[in-house]
Structure 1
Amino acid sequence: MRRILASSFFAASALAASSMPVAADPMADAKAIIEAHRAMPVFTPPGEPFDAKACMADKKVLSIPISMTIPFNVELQKAMASAAAEVGFTYTTWDNQLKLDQWVQGISQAISQNYDVVDLAGGLNPEVLGPQLAEARSEGLKISTTHFYDVTQPAVESVDYSGKVDFTGAGKLLAAWAYVQTEGKPNVLIIGSSDVLPSIPFVQSIQDQLKALCPDCKQTHLDVPVSEWATKIQSGTQSALLADPSINYILPIYDSMSQFVVPALRITGSEGAVRIASFNGTPFVLDMVREGQVEMDIGESLGWAGYAAIDNIMRMLCDKPEVAKLNVPLLVFDKSNIETAGVPANFDDGYGDAHLEGFRKLWMLK
């Protein structure tokens, strides 16, 4: 069924893309997209201020990340816990190692200990926990997701509020970058993972933006499930480069994929001629930008993301409107500013701290 849905999505998207207007000045449009993501992020309130401390008194939130063996999830949970501590309510991270029975145990714990919210964070798909979430809701708990859906995707019915991410915005930025850096002549290999739900609109946004900028330019899509990244990305990239030596840009949609792309460039003698740009701001990949192995990485501050996630969860409990997307800016890291990300890089440097003052005022903490 999932494959059928994905195929239907791609067919519909392809039909829509075929009628997409071509940019009047594609180079100017592409450069504008890039420049909009170079400036130091500023805080834009995601909604009206509210008295968070009063609203959240005696409230309890249990967050279940997809796995605490993933550094991304560890840092996101740290930030969410820090934000909750500032407001002053109980926040618990359910430690797990990517196992279904552990996620189920977490929901049972939330029910038995009278939590108010179960939050599924950092990629945990609520569809795999349908019966457990239904039980939680029958006991009066609310369900949220954090950093899972793209802004274009509706959440399933078992989810009350969803902290969505602008994956499609990142896709447009990646396409614009490849177009500008190749002086309007990109031949792009896009590497995606359609088994991760938001990857579908993410890849489609890259494809659509490239078509709008450059209808006749070539693009290829390599789809690799997450479980096969270590075994299939390098070989798939090598095959694509050997089949088409004119490929000049590779866009892995998640930057951790880059570690498997670089060896393929070396083996095929493509280093220098083929460049890489990606998304996430993972520290080891930012280090690869500093070392010249990756040209550009779109970063998102996990400190900012954690506060934005807590803001949306509190709005759910305080009867405030759900935010359309997590209030987290996307920032271009390349050779011009990569040192600001830290040496070695980390998940939070380089973005400034406008979110701290912004959320504190939004929550009426000062």
Structure 2
Amino acid sequence: MLGKPLRGKLIVAVALLGLVSACGSGGTGASAGTSGAKADLAQAKQILAAASQRPTKIQVTAPVGKPVPTGKKIAFVSCGLPECVLQGEVIKKATDLLGWSLTTINTNGTPQGFQNAFDTILRQKPDGVIYNAIDKSVIRSQLGQLQAQGAITGACCQLDPAGDGITYVIDTPDDNSPKGKIDAAWAVVNGGDSASVLYANIPDFKILSSIKSGLQTNLKTLCPGCSFDSIDLPLTSLGKDAPNRMVSYLRSHPKTKYVVLADDAAGVGLPAALRAAGLTDVKVFGQAPYGASLGYLKNGTEAGAIPYDLYGDMWAIVDSMVRKFAGVPVPTIHPPMWVVTKDNYPAEAGSDLFPIVADYDKQYAALWGKA
């Protein structure tokens, strides 16, 4: 059995990234590079350097320009774990600022639990609903009924686009693909003309496939001489033998020195496994660090990672509602990206999740006329 902290991490990864049906656990086969081809090191350095600068501005720039209605009733569907509770707390900070009320409904993370939560929401008749990573097929009927009631919905981290009962979505597959470009640049900057890269995929998280394709495509462009391969880690291996699976691959492919994790849940225990196997020259780059992997970043045993911007995502959804209620256009934005390493780990973060834009809340407040 997984310990409670890791179980929480895995379920939250499901909630934030969109868990869908499992797709097997085999590898995809290596993609060999073009021997003797030179990498575009300058371009790779430019990409990585830009991504290593902490964003200071939210992507929404236009003030609302009209009075924001007060008294709106918002409902948030939470999985009930500490990280999901944190999402609710982040949203509440925004709704309190706006003079809105927030009701958080906890679930057990099952389709039936989600349906029960939305049935409760329908009886409450809120003005807006916020949720993440619930497949539309599970709540299609309830979304239609909410739309008929005049409620607006904001969602995060899912495959379903806006429309057909969903008003606004952030952190889509298109938002995740650019992470693969940063992953590729990191590998080229560190490995040069013939870097061999292993992508540790979690096929249960379909939304992560866009990171894999972005990495593979950009690695081929930036470094024709580099090679790429991936292994599929089943969800049941996380927190158990996932590190050993990666170590086994690396032992049988001694030229592979760069590992990119689809999600840092796959890397829990990996630094120790690499040390035990004597693979001290292998570097690891992750996505969505949390818990133990934040500690790896702080001490340098994970070379770098692209954090998930939980804070910014939740306030972006609230901003979309602000603008809908005020009758002004809602801008299309993409979540900011930041490569975090031991050298630029935010001092204010401690060992918990942190916002990408440090004063995101003050910037949104100014746009809403609430500064």
TM superposition score category, shorter chain reference = 0.7 to 0.9
2:358 counterpart of 1:358: no
Normalising by structure 2, what TM-score?
A: 0.81
Indicate which of 319, 333, 337 corresponds to 2:344: 337
Instruction: Map Cα deviations across residues 104-139 of structure 1 (whole Å, 9 max, x no partner).
Output: 121111110111222222x33333322332333333
Instruction: Map Cα deviations across residues 151-175 of structure 1 (whole Å, 9 max, x no partner).
Output: xx74463422112353222221111
For structure 2, list consecutive stretches of 5 or more residues without a partner in the other structure.
Answer: 1-19, 24-30, 32-36
Indicate which of 113, 118, 135 corresponds to 2:124: 113
User: Partner letter of residue 308 of structure 1?
Assistant: A
Change (3 A) 1:281 1:223: same
Change (3 A) 1:25 1:183: closer
Indicate which of 136, 140, 153 corresponds to 1:143: 153
Matches of 1:238 and 1:284, distance apart in 2? 19
Change (3 A) 1:322 1:198: farther
Change (3 A) 1:226 1:85: farther
Matches of 1:28 and 1:177, distance apart in 2? 12
Matches of 1:320 and 1:235, distance apart in 2? 53
User: Partner letter of residue 52 of structure 2?
Assistant: R
Matches of 2:200 and 2:134, distance apart in 1? 21
Contact 1:189 1:251 in 2 (8 A): yes
Indicate which of 231, 238, 241 corresponds to 1:222: 231
Contact 1:253 1:279 in 2 (8 A): yes
User: Partner letter of residue 118 of structure 2?
Assistant: I
Matches of 2:236 and 2:103, distance apart in 1? 28
2:141 counterpart of 1:124: no
Q: How far 1:177 sits from its partner (Å)?
A: 0.8
Contact 1:174 1:277 in 2 (8 A): yes
Normalising by structure 1, what TM-score?
A: 0.82
2:209 counterpart of 1:200: yes
Q: How far 1:276 sits from its partner (Å)?
A: 0.5
Per the alignment, in what secondary structure is the counterpart of residue 183 of structure 1? helix
Indicate which of 230, 244, 248 corresponds to 2:253: 244
The 5 Å alignment of 1:246-285 reads 246-270=255-279, 272-285=280-293
Matches of 1:311 and 1:253, distance apart in 2? 29
Please give the root-mean-square deviation of Cα atoms over the aligned residues, in Å: 3.0
Moved more, 260-269 or 212-221: 260-269
The 5 Å alignment of 1:1-366 reads 26-50=40-64, 54-65=67-78, 67-69=79-81, 71=83, 73-121=84-132, 123-149=133-159, 154-155=161-162, 157-164=164-171, 166-231=175-240, 233-270=242-279, 272-326=280-334, 328-338=335-345, 340=347, 342=349, 344-348=350-354, 351=356, 353-366=358-371
Contact 1:299 1:330 in 2 (8 A): yes
Aligned length: 340
User: Partner letter of residue 163 of structure 1?
Assistant: I
Of structures 1 and 2, the one scoring higher in RCO (CA 8 A, sep 6+) is: 2
Q: How far 1:145 sits from its partner (Å)?
A: 0.8
Task: State percent identity of aligned pairs.
Answer: 20
Contact 2:170 2:317 in 1 (8 A): yes
Contact 1:190 1:252 in 2 (8 A): yes
For structure 1, list consecutive stretches of 5 or more residues without a partner in the other structure.
Answer: 7-16, 18-22
Instruction: Map Cα deviations across residues 182-222 of structure 1 (whole Å, 9 max, x no partner).
Output: 23432111112233232121211111111111123111112
Change (3 A) 1:348 1:339: closer
1:12 is aligned to none
